[in-house]
Structure 1
Amino acid sequence: MPVTREFVKELIGSDTVVIFSKTYCPYCTMAKQVFDKLKQKYTAVELDNRDDADEIQAILGEITGAKTVPRVFVKGEFIGGGSDVKQLFESGELVKKL
Protein backbone atom coordinates (compact mmCIF):
# COMPACT_ATOMS: atom_id res chain seq x y z
CA MET A 1 0.00 0.00 0.00
CA PRO A 2 1.55 3.31 -1.00
CA VAL A 3 2.12 5.89 1.68
CA THR A 4 -0.19 8.86 1.37
CA ARG A 5 0.20 12.49 2.30
CA GLU A 6 -2.71 11.96 4.73
CA PHE A 7 -0.76 9.19 6.51
CA VAL A 8 2.29 11.46 6.88
CA LYS A 9 0.09 14.33 8.11
CA GLU A 10 -1.49 11.98 10.66
CA LEU A 11 1.99 11.01 11.85
CA ILE A 12 2.95 14.69 12.12
CA GLY A 13 -0.20 15.35 14.16
CA SER A 14 0.22 12.28 16.38
CA ASP A 15 2.30 14.03 19.07
CA THR A 16 3.38 17.52 20.15
CA VAL A 17 6.84 16.82 18.73
CA VAL A 18 7.42 14.46 15.81
CA ILE A 19 10.90 13.83 14.44
CA PHE A 20 11.42 12.02 11.15
CA SER A 21 14.82 10.53 11.77
CA LYS A 22 17.36 7.84 10.91
CA THR A 23 19.00 5.92 13.72
CA TYR A 24 22.56 6.56 12.47
CA CYS A 25 22.15 10.27 11.67
CA PRO A 26 24.14 12.64 13.94
CA TYR A 27 21.82 15.60 13.22
CA CYS A 28 18.84 13.46 14.19
CA THR A 29 20.58 12.58 17.46
CA MET A 30 21.29 16.29 18.01
CA ALA A 31 17.61 17.15 17.58
CA LYS A 32 16.47 14.36 19.92
CA GLN A 33 19.01 15.41 22.57
CA VAL A 34 17.54 18.93 22.61
CA PHE A 35 14.08 17.55 23.40
CA ASP A 36 15.58 15.15 25.95
CA LYS A 37 17.22 18.13 27.71
CA LEU A 38 13.84 19.86 27.76
CA LYS A 39 12.23 16.66 29.10
CA GLN A 40 9.83 16.97 26.16
CA LYS A 41 8.35 13.68 24.98
CA TYR A 42 8.51 13.17 21.23
CA THR A 43 7.67 10.61 18.60
CA ALA A 44 10.66 9.57 16.50
CA VAL A 45 9.81 7.96 13.17
CA GLU A 46 13.02 6.06 12.37
CA LEU A 47 12.91 5.91 8.60
CA ASP A 48 15.79 3.46 8.27
CA ASN A 49 13.63 0.91 10.11
CA ARG A 50 10.69 1.30 7.70
CA ASP A 51 10.07 -0.19 4.27
CA ASP A 52 8.17 2.94 3.18
CA ALA A 53 10.99 5.39 4.04
CA ASP A 54 11.50 6.59 0.45
CA GLU A 55 7.81 7.42 0.04
CA ILE A 56 7.69 9.20 3.40
CA GLN A 57 10.81 11.21 2.55
CA ALA A 58 9.33 12.16 -0.83
CA ILE A 59 6.16 13.45 0.87
CA LEU A 60 8.23 15.30 3.50
CA GLY A 61 10.12 16.86 0.60
CA GLU A 62 6.85 18.14 -0.83
CA ILE A 63 5.68 19.44 2.57
CA THR A 64 8.95 20.97 3.81
CA GLY A 65 11.02 21.61 0.69
CA ALA A 66 13.72 19.06 1.56
CA LYS A 67 13.96 15.31 2.03
CA THR A 68 16.92 15.31 4.41
CA VAL A 69 16.52 14.15 8.00
CA PRO A 70 15.76 15.10 10.61
CA ARG A 71 12.50 16.80 9.69
CA VAL A 72 11.17 18.14 13.00
CA PHE A 73 7.57 19.19 13.61
CA VAL A 74 6.19 20.91 16.71
CA LYS A 75 2.41 21.01 17.01
CA GLY A 76 2.16 20.20 13.32
CA GLU A 77 4.48 23.03 12.27
CA PHE A 78 7.75 22.22 10.50
CA ILE A 79 10.56 23.87 12.46
CA GLY A 80 13.59 22.55 10.56
CA GLY A 81 16.39 20.06 10.98
CA GLY A 82 18.96 19.31 13.68
CA SER A 83 20.89 22.58 13.49
CA ASP A 84 17.64 24.58 13.35
CA VAL A 85 16.30 22.83 16.46
CA LYS A 86 19.55 23.45 18.34
CA GLN A 87 19.52 27.13 17.35
CA LEU A 88 15.85 27.52 18.39
CA PHE A 89 16.68 25.85 21.72
CA GLU A 90 19.69 28.09 22.37
CA SER A 91 17.70 31.25 21.54
CA GLY A 92 14.82 30.21 23.82
CA GLU A 93 12.36 30.16 20.91
CA LEU A 94 11.85 26.39 21.01
CA VAL A 95 10.37 26.43 24.52
CA LYS A 96 7.86 29.09 23.39
CA LYS A 97 6.71 26.84 20.54
CA LEU A 98 6.05 23.96 22.93
Structure 2
Amino acid sequence: MDKIGKLASENGVVIFSKSTCCLCYAVQILFRDLGVQPLVHDIDHDPEGKDIEKALARMGCSGPVPAVYIGGKLMGSTNEIMSLHLSGSLVQLLRAQHQTN
Protein backbone atom coordinates (compact mmCIF):
# COMPACT_ATOMS: atom_id res chain seq x y z
CA MET A 1 0.00 0.00 0.00
CA ASP A 2 1.41 3.35 -1.07
CA LYS A 3 0.46 5.13 2.15
CA ILE A 4 2.53 2.73 4.26
CA GLY A 5 5.56 3.05 2.00
CA LYS A 6 5.29 6.84 1.87
CA LEU A 7 5.06 7.27 5.65
CA ALA A 8 7.82 4.72 6.26
CA SER A 9 10.22 6.28 3.77
CA GLU A 10 9.60 9.89 4.82
CA ASN A 11 10.10 9.31 8.57
CA GLY A 12 12.95 7.71 10.50
CA VAL A 13 10.75 5.67 12.83
CA VAL A 14 7.07 4.96 12.18
CA ILE A 15 4.72 2.97 14.39
CA PHE A 16 1.43 1.89 12.89
CA SER A 17 -0.79 1.61 15.91
CA LYS A 18 -4.30 1.56 17.29
CA SER A 19 -5.24 4.08 19.95
CA THR A 20 -6.74 1.38 22.18
CA CYS A 21 -3.86 -1.13 21.91
CA CYS A 22 -1.80 -1.54 25.09
CA LEU A 23 1.07 -3.27 23.25
CA CYS A 24 1.22 -0.37 20.80
CA TYR A 25 1.43 2.03 23.73
CA ALA A 26 4.24 -0.01 25.33
CA VAL A 27 6.28 0.06 22.11
CA GLN A 28 5.74 3.83 21.79
CA ILE A 29 6.95 4.35 25.38
CA LEU A 30 10.02 2.19 24.70
CA PHE A 31 11.03 4.39 21.78
CA ARG A 32 10.39 7.58 23.74
CA ASP A 33 12.46 6.23 26.64
CA LEU A 34 15.27 5.65 24.12
CA GLY A 35 15.03 9.31 23.09
CA VAL A 36 13.21 8.70 19.81
CA GLN A 37 10.04 10.54 18.83
CA PRO A 38 8.43 8.17 16.32
CA LEU A 39 5.66 9.09 13.98
CA VAL A 40 2.66 7.23 15.40
CA HIS A 41 -0.06 6.54 12.86
CA ASP A 42 -3.24 5.33 14.57
CA ILE A 43 -4.95 3.23 11.92
CA ASP A 44 -8.20 3.22 13.87
CA HIS A 45 -8.41 6.99 13.17
CA ASP A 46 -7.63 6.58 9.46
CA PRO A 47 -10.45 6.04 6.95
CA GLU A 48 -8.16 3.56 5.17
CA GLY A 49 -7.32 1.80 8.45
CA LYS A 50 -8.76 -1.60 7.54
CA ASP A 51 -6.84 -1.62 4.27
CA ILE A 52 -3.64 -0.58 6.08
CA GLU A 53 -4.15 -3.38 8.62
CA LYS A 54 -4.59 -5.96 5.85
CA ALA A 55 -1.54 -4.65 3.97
CA LEU A 56 0.63 -4.82 7.10
CA ALA A 57 -0.41 -8.43 7.63
CA ARG A 58 0.44 -9.23 3.98
CA MET A 59 3.85 -7.61 4.47
CA GLY A 60 4.61 -10.08 7.22
CA CYS A 61 3.87 -8.13 10.36
CA SER A 62 2.84 -10.65 12.99
CA GLY A 63 0.65 -8.14 14.87
CA PRO A 64 -0.84 -6.50 12.69
CA VAL A 65 -0.18 -3.66 15.15
CA PRO A 66 2.07 -2.32 16.34
CA ALA A 67 4.00 -2.42 13.10
CA VAL A 68 7.34 -0.66 13.44
CA TYR A 69 9.38 0.72 10.55
CA ILE A 70 12.90 2.02 11.02
CA GLY A 71 14.55 3.70 8.07
CA GLY A 72 11.78 2.59 5.75
CA LYS A 73 12.20 -1.08 6.65
CA LEU A 74 9.58 -3.16 8.47
CA MET A 75 11.16 -4.33 11.72
CA GLY A 76 8.11 -6.18 13.01
CA SER A 77 5.65 -6.05 15.85
CA THR A 78 6.01 -6.15 19.63
CA ASN A 79 7.92 -9.45 19.88
CA GLU A 80 10.47 -8.49 17.25
CA ILE A 81 11.02 -5.01 18.70
CA MET A 82 11.41 -6.32 22.26
CA SER A 83 13.85 -9.00 21.05
CA LEU A 84 15.90 -6.35 19.25
CA HIS A 85 15.86 -4.19 22.37
CA LEU A 86 16.91 -6.98 24.72
CA SER A 87 19.78 -7.98 22.43
CA GLY A 88 21.01 -4.38 22.17
CA SER A 89 20.38 -4.28 18.42
CA LEU A 90 17.52 -1.77 18.57
CA VAL A 91 19.74 1.04 19.86
CA GLN A 92 22.30 0.24 17.15
CA LEU A 93 19.62 0.39 14.46
CA LEU A 94 18.36 3.70 15.80
CA ARG A 95 21.88 5.17 15.92
CA ALA A 96 22.54 4.05 12.35
CA GLN A 97 19.21 5.58 11.26
CA HIS A 98 20.01 8.83 13.06
CA GLN A 99 23.41 9.06 11.35
CA THR A 100 21.88 8.67 7.89
CA ASN A 101 19.40 11.51 8.46
Taking structure 1 as the reference length, the TM-score comes to 0.86
- Give the structure with the higher percent helix: 2
- Report the equivalent of 1:19: 15
Q: Which aligned pairs between 1:1-80 and structure 2 lie closer than 5 A?
A: 5-66=1-62, 68-80=64-76
User: Higher mean Cα deviation, 60-69 or 87-96?
Assistant: 60-69
Q: How many residues align?
A: 94
Contact 2:11 2:39 in 1 (8 A): yes
- Report the identity percentage: 27
Q: TM-score, normalised by structure 2?
A: 0.83
User: Match of 1:79, SS?
Assistant: strand
Cα distance in 1 between the residues matched to 2:61 and 2:77: 12
Q: Which runs of 5+ in 1 are unaligned?
A: none
Q: Which residue of 2 aligns with 1:93?
A: 89
- Secondary structure of the 1:23 match is coil
Q: 1:27 to 1:65 in 2, by over 3 A?
A: closer
CA RMSD of aligned residues (A): 1.5
**What is the CA distance between 1:84 and its match in structure 2?**
2.1
